[in-house]
Chains A and B, each alone.
Chain A
Amino acid sequence: YSTFEGDYKWKKNDLTYRIQNYTPDMSQAEVDDSIKRALQVWADVTPLRFTRINSGTADIMISFVVKDHADGYPFDGPNGFLAHAFPPFEGIGGDAHFDDDEDFFFQSPQGYNLFLVAAHEFGHSLGLEHSRDPGALMYPSYVYRDINTFALPQDDVNGIQFLYGPNPDV
């Protein structure tokens, strides 16, 4: 695993998130569920807890955008870059952007599974960089996994617990 150089971690364990808009590829309930489960992947192994808000500025602002979306990192149309997220800091830090030129899916192995892409991006939102371990969730390339049996790979557990420690409730 790898962490961002510098002090890129949240100084609090209670974080908020907000879904600013939706992709037309899935129902809103499916997007909500995918995002919630993607954050829970990290909450399961750390003291971090996530609360959804529907207005105002959240620590993690989530949006579906295309091409140039005014953050200096334009998306590139279908395939290529699927999403990106910023490490923890004030303002845009923690925010996750998904390329809405992609086809996102809820359960199907075709297209890109939103839960898997989001879980990876939220690793960045919390302070993890890309891992060189091809089996890690934080590996940069998209790899489909069975989401019904998904378990956070050990490399990612080690990385996030290096930043935040283990879940005290387990």
Chain B
Amino acid sequence: SPIDKDQEKIAMNYLTKLYGLQKQDHNSKLKSSSALSLHLKEMQEFFGLEVTGKLNEETLNVMKKPRCGVPDVAA
């Protein structure tokens, strides 16, 4: 199913807090989407998910699980 804006927000927040994604630069859409993809790949690799760099249902489900707030990778 398509990922809506709210789900995207959850993902951005998750990657900012835990995977060192910088607050998005709204003036540089291209730059931000490649940064997002890079950090998504890092997260997917950490959790043993299929590494696509794209937000999908499986990745979102992992992001929604209760967890520790310490980042997974060194910031």
Give chain A's interface residue range (CB within 8 Å of chain B). Answer: 20 to 34
A-B contact count (CB 8 A): 52
Q: Is B3 an interface residue (CB 8 A)?
A: no
Contact B48 A81 (CB under 8 A): no
CA distance in complex: A85, B65 (Å): 19
| Residues of A119-170 contacting chain B, CB below 8 A | 120-121, 124, 129-130, 132, 134, 140-142
Contact B69 A83 (CB under 8 A): yes
Taking CB atoms, residues of chain A closer than 8 Å to B69 are 73, 75, 81-84, 99
A1 beta carbon closer than 8 Å to chain B: no
CA of A1 to CA of B72 in the docked complex: distance in angstroms? Answer: 12
Instruction: Tell me the minimal C-beta distance from A73 to chain B in angstroms.
Output: 6
Residues of B within 8 A of A129 (CB): 70, 72, 74
- B46 CB to closest chain A CB (Å) equals 6
CA distance A85 to B71 in the complex (A): 11
Give bound CA distance, A38 to B46, whole Å.
26
| Beta-carbon nearest neighbor of A112 in chain B | B66
**Interface residue tally on B, bucketed by range:** 10 to 19
Chain B residues lying within 8 Å of A75, measured Cβ to Cβ, are: 69
**Complex contacts, B66 vs chain A, CB 8 Å:** 79-82, 102, 112, 141-142
* Residues of chain A with a CB closer than 8 A to B72's CB: 129-130, 140
Contacts of A81 in B (CB 8 A): 66-69
- Given A132-B48, A134-B48, A141-B62, CB of A82 within 8 Å of CB of B74: no
Nearest CB on A from B15, distance (A): 14
A100 → chain B closest CB, angstroms: 14
Q: Provide the bound-state CA to CA distance between A82 and B66, in Å.
A: 7
Contact B70 A84 (CB under 8 A): yes
Which chain A positions have C-beta within 8 A of B46?
130, 132
Smallest CB-CB separation from A82: which chain B residue?
A: B66
Q: Is the Cβ of A141 less than 8 Å from the Cβ of B65? A: yes
Instruction: Decide: A121 and B68 in contact? CB cutoff 8 A.
Output: yes
> Within 8 Å CB of A79, what residues of B?
66
Assuming A81-B69, A112-B66, A129-B74, what are 7 further A-B pairs, CB within 8 angstroms? A75-B69, A81-B67, A117-B68, A130-B46, A140-B70, A141-B62, A141-B65
Residues of chain B whose beta carbon lies under 8 Å from any beta carbon of chain A: 46-48, 62, 65-70, 72, 74
